[in-house]
């Protein structure tokens, strides 16, 4: 099992040999760039970063690749969303998105699709928190999202991030039956 440690905007993905990681923290190197300093990781750890995807065609392609990997069908959130990837520059480990609706002061956290080789590492919670921080910066006063009824890992992660079950959230169109809605003040 791989372990992921968040260090500001960086994650460490150790090699498949396992091992627990201990976060020591980021430092500024002599060129003014953030470097990750950590201990407890096996040789071969990979530093990955969250990168905003500005090219919509690139976002569609990554989204399609991850949907195929998970066999979840066509779930393109929309062209108005902001998209990010978790990458080491060579490989993408997660693709996720959100959209801010200023007219109603909320952010919708849409899908986060994570590479199956790094599931169950706490990464989804970190991506939720990243999008909540982004939503606050946009001016949102609350966030909404939903998950399928039996998606227990997502339900658990949303609750751990401060979301609460909700009826169809205020001012939100909803997606119908078969889902749990969540809402959180920011």
Which structural domains are found in the chain, ordered by start?
5-185 (3.40.630.30)
CA angle 44, 50, 55 (to 5 degrees): 125
CA distance 84 to 128: 12
Q: Which of 1-15, 85-99, 154-168 has the lowest mean pLDDT?
A: 1-15
Question: What confidence tens digit (pLDDT) does each residue in 102-128 have?
Answer: 998 999 998 888 887 777 778 899 899
**pLDDT over 60 at 45, yes or no:** no
Torsion of CA 24, 28, 34, 39, to 10 degrees: -20
**pLDDT over 70 at 24, yes or no:** no
Q: How many residues does the chain have?
A: 186
Is residue 148 packed enough to be buried (19+ CB in 10 Å), middle (13-18) or exposed (0-12)?
exposed
CA distance 84 to 54: 9
Mean pLDDT for the chain?
75
The β-bridge partners of 161 are: none
CA distance 50 to 44: 20
Contacting residues for 121 by C-beta, under 8 A, at least 6 apart: 1, 2, 3, 4
Contact 143, 111 (CB under 8 A): no
pLDDT at res. 121 = 78
CA angle 14, 91, 12 (to 5 degrees): 25
**pLDDT over 70 at 50, yes or no:** yes
Question: What confidence tens digit (pLDDT) does each residue in 58-67 have?
Answer: 888 887 877 7
If you compute the radius of gyration of the chain from its CA atoms, what whole number of angstroms results? Answer: 17
Per the model's pLDDT, the better-predicted residue between 140 and 14 turns out to be 140
The β-bridge partners of 92 are: 87
Q: Which three-class secondary structure state does DSSP give residue 116? A: helix
pLDDT at res. 111 = 83
pLDDT at res. 119 = 77
Q: Which of 22-31, 77-86, 109-118 has the lowest mean pLDDT?
A: 22-31
- Span between the terminal Cα atoms of the chain, in Å: 33
**pLDDT over 70 at 33, yes or no:** no
pLDDT at res. 174 = 61
């Amino acid at each position: 099992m791989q372990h992921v440690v968040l260090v500001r905007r960086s994650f460490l993905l150790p090699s498949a040999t396992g091992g627990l990681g201990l976060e020591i923290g980021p430092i500024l190197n002599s060129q003014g760039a953030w470097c990750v300093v950590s201990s407890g990781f096996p040789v071969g750890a990979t530093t990955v970063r969250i990168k905003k995807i500005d090219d919509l065609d690139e976002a569609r392609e990554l989204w399609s690749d991850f949907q195929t990997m998970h066999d979840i069908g066509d779930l393109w959130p929309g062209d108005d969303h902001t998209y990010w990837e978790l990458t080491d520059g060579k490989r993408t480990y997660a693709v996720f998105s959100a959209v801010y609706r200023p007219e109603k002061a909320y952010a919708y956290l849409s899908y986060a699709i994570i590479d199956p080789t790094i599931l169950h590492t706490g990464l989804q919670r970190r991506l939720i928190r990243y999008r909540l921080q982004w939503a606050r910066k946009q001016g949102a006063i609350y966030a909404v999202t939903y998950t399928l009824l039996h998606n227990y890992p997502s339900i658990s992660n949303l609750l751990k991030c401060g979301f609460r079950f909700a009826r169809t959230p205020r001012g939100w169109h909803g997606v119908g039956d078969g889902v749990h809605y969540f809402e959180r003040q920011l």
